[in-house]
Structure 1
Amino acid sequence: MADSEDEPKAKPKKKGKKLILIGGGALLLAGGGAGAGMYFGGSTTEKSHEDPNRPKLVLRAETHEAAAEGDGHEVSKGPARRVGTVAAASDTIKPDPKKYEVAYYPIEQAFTANLADGGGFAQISISLSTYFDSRVGDNIERQMVPIRSAILMVLSDQQAEVLATPEGKQMLQRLLTKSINGVLREKEGFGGVDNVYFSNLVVQ
């Protein structure tokens, strides 16, 4: 009889152990799922650390709306102030020109430099283009001294016979764009210049 009385008492203990194991397993799964979500999706804390001063792309519609809000009497040497809303993973992306608005920043002073190997000199006037907002323009203005130096160094490394060809001019565009973005990344942490355009190019 003693044996039969002890049997019912043993069974609840086993159930209690099972419930503890099941509960513990559920907590582990829930914790693992939350951890995985934070790892793959990024935690809200990480997203809040996004630099608010980082330039953003400007949608074409946003630029048109901003222009419509103005009174039409504003005078500016460069493009109107623009605030972008589309964050970009990198400043090296090539945005869709049909989707994003481009702005041009003319460099007021021309550049004159002796060419390589005593091959004469070149004089250029340029404008810089960007699909990012006015913060890129601010960076360009703030870093104009090292930008001008970089442009003159690139120009003085060219050869007259190369610059006389369309391919040579296109190559110079690419070299200047890369050099200017290099200065901006070093000084401001962000490039954003899409291209360099010549408004004047003389080789003698």
Structure 2
Amino acid sequence: MEDITGDSGPGKKKKKGGLMKKLLLFVVLPLVAVGGGVGGALYAMNAGWFSAKPAGGDHADADKPKLVPKSEEKRASVKGGEGGGHGEGGDSAERHGKPTPEGEGGDEYASAYYPLEKEFTSNLQDSVHFVQVGIAVETHYDDRVLENIKTHEIAIRSAILLALSQTGEDEVFNPDGKKAMQERLVKAINEVLKEKEGFGGVSNVYFTNFIVQ
């Protein structure tokens, strides 16, 4: 008997086969597209077409002073003569020291010293005495910190005088008190540099002269 329902036969099989092909294409093509997109992105990253780092990050870091390794330290000359000890151009900033063998102590980075030309005189807090000091600053960063100090020396001198005026009489007569003065001066100088340049960089302050009267 002839099947009049159309549920079997070559025509029905052909329809089922076409439907399966469409379903396979509907599932497989998106997977291929996704896989190609991921592969393309990985290839682009490996090729350096784009970076995962935030935009401008490297540029911002490049603008900041860098720590100077001991291997790049400038040594003061032991010879006398014109301009001795100040390097080329008579610059008063100097870097001292040499690479220290591991396990023998010493700073990890080079030190640059810059003596402020004029001495500082200030009354002591709640005292009839006054203090007169000569000051040199130290940094482990590159010469941009020293340039910033020279550029803003007037503001720095004002901050130093203000910090000295907050010094008590008891501090100037004992080592611990003088160390506290040094720390206060370092903070005052770095605050000025951060305000003006966005970066401090001064690691220590040394007294080149210290008189109490």
TM interval, short-chain normalised: 0.7 to 0.9
TM-score, length-scaled by structure 2: 0.73
5+ long unaligned stretches in structure 2: 1-8, 46-50, 78-83, 96-104
Q: Distance in 2 between matches of 1:80 and 1:201?
A: 22
TM-score, length-scaled by structure 1: 0.76
1:1-204 to structure 2, matched below 5 A, reads 1=9, 2-26=11-35, 29=38, 41-43=52-54, 45-50=55-60, 52-63=62-73, 74=88, 76-79=90-93, 98-204=107-213
5+ long unaligned stretches in structure 1: 82-95
In structure 2, the residue corresponding to 1:194 is in which secondary structure?
Answer: strand
Alpha-carbon distance, 1:98 to partner: 3.9
2:94/2:113 contact within 8 Å kept:
no
Root-mean-square deviation (Å): 3.0
Higher helix share: 1
Q: Distance in 2 between matches of 1:130 and 1:61?
A: 16
Q: Distance in 2 between matches of 1:175 and 1:31?
A: 56
Q: Distance in 2 between matches of 1:60 and 1:149?
A: 33
Sequence identity percentage: 37
Q: How many residue pairs end up in the alignment? A: 180
Q: Can you list the C-alpha shifts for 1:37-90, whole angstroms capped at 9, x where unaligned?
A: xxx9414x434433644211111212359x9xxxx8835242359xxxxxxxxx
In structure 2, the residue corresponding to 1:138 is in which secondary structure?
Answer: helix
Please identify the structure whose Cα radius of gyration is greater.
2
| 41 and 202 in structure 1: CA distance in 2 versus 1, 3 angstrom threshold | farther
**Residue type matched to 2:178 in 1?**
K
| 30 and 10 in structure 1: CA distance in 2 versus 1, 3 angstrom threshold | same
1:140/1:184 contact within 8 Å kept:
yes
Q: Distance in 2 between matches of 1:29 and 1:186?
A: 46
